Amino acid sequence: MFNGGSAKSLIDLQRGEVSREVFVNENLYREELERIFARAWLYIGHESQIRRPGDYFVSCMGEESVILTRDPAGQPRAFLNTCRHRGMKVCRYDEGHTVHFICPYHGWSYATDGRLVGVQQYETAYQPPFDRAQWGLIEVAQLATYRGTVWATWDPAAPPFLDYLGEARLALDLALGPWDGGDGETELLGSVQKWLIPSNWKFVAENFAGDGLHVVSHRSVDMVGIGPNQREGRRDDFGSLFLAAAPRWGHGITYSYLPADAERNDYAASMETSRYFKECWEKRRRKLGERAGLQVIVGTIFPNMSMHGQQPRTILVAHPRGVDMTEMWRVYFVDKDAPREVKQFLRHYYIRYSGPAGMTEQDDMENWNYATSASRGTIARRYPYHYKAGLGVGSIHQFIPGLVTGQPVSLSSEQNTRILYRRWAEFMDASSWSELTAARDS
Amino acid sequence: MASGKNTLITGPAIDSALAHLVLTREVEDFLYYEADLLDERRYEEWLTLLTDDIRYWMPIRKNVPYRDERGDITGEEDIAWIDDDKATLTKRVRQIMTGVHWAEEPASRICHIISNVRLVEPGVALDANELVVGSRFCVYRNRVETETDFLVGRRQDTLRRIDGALKLARRKIILDQNVLMAKNLTMFF
Ligand code: FES
Ligand SMILES: [Fe+2]
């Protein structure tokens, strides 16, 4: 597949080295679209974006636009955003509500369940008439929802979503669950931030999978202090850290753990928010005991869905747009039942942390940008990247699933990124999901 | 006059027309001075032009139907590109000054071109404490070697007169992009 070799030959897990070709090679990039983005489960949206039948949200899978909608029967559905007649992008709004998607080009119309329901001059121009049932919108092969998030894959042979999540399921439970540990819901806090960064998409994925070493790059924001408590740093106190990988699936999570007898911070800028978090923490402790303090800091579900699990709480999808271009889509979450003042307080905090104006994320994007461009050269690409931190250290934890590396090593272990690239190579080399399944069983 | 009608001004009307002109010039001068401070990286001086209760807000633009009454700008309590108060703007300035804010290190070359300055809401009396001012911006950023961004849009400012001097009390920045085509927004608008 690559110079006749295998993708596996680009990843040396024993030595902790990954070839730069993985990040800069055009041919590999095109293979990724085929072998990863057309087969893996991808995050495509949130149910709160399509509450009623007819609501739609224009999303994206790999490079391609996808319409996420809710059909008349109330089921979420996802279709490629291209007309079956001559390819026109059927829907060019970001979101909305409709009965039919009407193609601007020659007027074909599609119902929200994808059926082709209107064809201009159908009775007169087509002799014999063609079977409209064969010409509906192209639908994803599988769609799954989990705690409000919506996922899809183009591969009918992909395993069920919950299998695919593997040990990372706990991370989604924690990141998408309410603060008080109860049964309430979280909801999207408004609109999506979308922006382009000149970087290979995997810099984003590996950063969120677990790159404790890059914390040093955020020194400027730590000096200034933008956290909700307005002191030094950019977050609340979160206790100790644990890196956990889902070794067979390629997902990487950084968990934090605060002992159950710890107290939560006050937020001087908003007493209402302080009170809310204290109440939630009390409830959480009562309900979850010693596990109450387990939270997700960051994580990546392979390949390109990344998250912040607590403060801030967001999902970031790194959509590929070329070997050296990525379109970032970021959404933010709050407890649905939180008071308005709490949501607004968090909104301000979230967007001064993340996104293109995020005082933390800005420095990440500068690094991903110039790491990509400085790796492209003929000489540069002969030399592999270095992923040796914490080689051979991971073990099993009492209640964190997966391969776990705890403090003090966690801040320097690159186990999650190594596992992400191992899975990357498996995807790139396998010709089908049955081979991929075999790869993870071996 | 503000309406652009081509009338000959005579008699008492000339006084109000002149007052309007002088005020417009004062406002333009304020905005151009502000742009100079930003482009010369005199950020701490720039902060002194802002009131303590400033809202500095850059909503997101959406693709919506032409007739959508909600408009194409995200709402006041929705996610925005930027929604800062004075404290956060001050932190942004301090971050740049740390010398280790890599997104602005080495420093970008930034040029603000401000135009179409106009006092809006003609009903507002000329001696009112607050003025609403519309303008356009072209913000050019060039950094490191060839990296270039060109961000264009409108601003709607509320200026407040405090002890005789104009200050910026609110800025709404309406960028004419949907997918932001700059990797970050480290610059001020
Ligand atoms: S391309 Fe859509 S109707 Fe022709
Ligand atoms: Fe970071």
Is B30's pLDDT higher than 70?
A: yes
- Top CATH class of B12-175 equals alpha beta
Q: What are A39-69's pLDDT values in tens digits? A: 999 999 999 999 999 999 999 999 999 999 9
pLDDT range class, residue A441, cuts 50, 70, 90: low
Whole-structure pTM value = 0.95
Q: What is the CATH number of the domain that holds A185?
A: 3.90.380.10
Is residue A117 located within the same domain as residue A81?
yes
A156 domain residue, yes or no: no
Nearest-neighbour CA in chain A from B116: distance (Å): 26
Check CB contact under 8 Å for A219 and B60: no
Beta strand segments in chain B, E? 50-58, 82-84, 109-119, 130-143, 147-162, 165-175
Euclidean distance between CA atoms B120 and B158, whole angstroms: 10
Q: Find, in chain A, the residue whose alpha carbon is nearest to that of B65.
A: A93
Size of interface A-B (CB pairs under 8 A): 123
Angle formed by the axes of helices A415-429 and A201-210, to 10°? Answer: 140
Check CB contact under 8 Å for B81 and A365: no
Is residue A230 located within the same domain as residue A181?
yes
User: In residues, how long is chain B?
Assistant: 189
A158 domain residue, yes or no: no
Euclidean distance between CA atoms A9 and A18, whole angstroms: 9
Q: What are B170-182's pLDDT values in tens digits? A: 999 999 999 999 9
> If you average pLDDT over residues B15-29, what whole number do you get?
92
Is residue A26 located within the same domain as residue A57?
no
Half-sphere exposure (Cβ direction) of A222: Cα atoms closer than 13 Å: 8
Q: How high does pLDDT run on average in chain A?
A: 94
Q: Which tokens sit at B100?
A: 């280790």
List residues bridging with A255 in a β-sheet: A242, A296
Select from A143, A175, A207 the last residue of a domain: A143
Check CB contact under 8 Å for A362 and B83: no
Euclidean distance between CA atoms A7 and A34, whole angstroms: 14
Start-to-end C-alpha separation, chain B: 29
Q: What are A282-318's pLDDT values in tens digits? A: 999 999 999 999 999 999 999 999 999 988 999 999 9
Is B2's pLDDT higher than 50?
A: no
- Distance of CA A149 from the midpoint of ligand 1 (Å): 31
Check CB contact under 8 Å for A362 and B182: no
Q: What are A83-126's pLDDT values in tens digits? A: 999 999 999 999 999 999 999 999 999 999 999 999 999 999 99
Q: What is the CATH number of the domain that holds A77?
A: 2.102.10.10
A162 domain residue, yes or no: no
Is residue A235 located within the same domain as residue A138?
no
A154 domain residue, yes or no: no
Backbone angles phi, psi at A133, to 5 degrees: -65, -25
Position A65 scores a pLDDT of 98
A177 domain residue, yes or no: yes
A157 domain residue, yes or no: no
Angle formed by the axes of helices A361-373 and A201-210, to 10°? Answer: 130
Look at chain A and report how many structural domains it folds into: 2
Is residue A208 located within the same domain as residue A350?
yes
Q: What are A11-29's pLDDT values in tens digits? A: 999 999 999 999 999 999 9
Query: Could you tell me if residue B138 is left (phi over 0), alpha (psi between -120 and 50 degrees) or otherwise beta?
Result: beta
Is B142's pLDDT higher than 70?
A: yes
Q: How high does pLDDT run on average in chain B?
A: 92
Q: Which tokens sit at B38?
A: 């930003």
Is A329's pLDDT higher than 90?
A: yes
Q: What are A108-120's pLDDT values in tens digits? A: 999 999 999 999 9
Q: Is A387:A218 a contact under the CB 8 Å cutoff?
A: no
Is residue A181 located within the same domain as residue A119?
no
pLDDT range class, residue B69, cuts 50, 70, 90: confident
Which residue is it, tokens 């009454």?
B69
What number does the ligand 1 atom closest to the CA of A107 have?
Answer: 3
Euclidean distance between CA atoms A62 and A66, whole angstroms: 10
Q: What is the three-state SS of A109-143?
A: EEECCCCEEECCCHHHHCCCCCCHHHHCCCECCEE
Instruction: For residue B76, give the amino acid letter.
Output: E
Domain positions in chain B: 12-175
Nearest to A93 among B65, B81, B87 (CB): B65
Euclidean distance between CA atoms B95 and B106, whole angstroms: 13
Element (H, E) at A317: strand A313-320
Q: Which DSSP string do the residues of A60-127 spell out, in sequence order?
A: EETTEEEEEEE-TTS-EEEEESS-TTT---S--SSEEE-SEEE-TTT--EEETTS-EEE-TTHHHH-S
Strands A305-309 and A313-320, sheet pairing? antiparallel
Q: Which domain holds residue A120?
A: 42-143
List residues bridging with A244 in a β-sheet: A253, A404
Highest mean pLDDT among A75-79, A288-292, A411-415: A75-79
A236 domain residue, yes or no: yes
Position A147 scores a pLDDT of 95
Q: Which of A90, A108, A130, A138 to mutate to test the pocket of ligand 1 (most atoms within 8 A of CB)?
A: A108
A150 domain residue, yes or no: no
Q: What are A187-232's pLDDT values in tens digits? A: 999 999 999 999 999 999 999 999 999 999 999 999 999 888 767 7
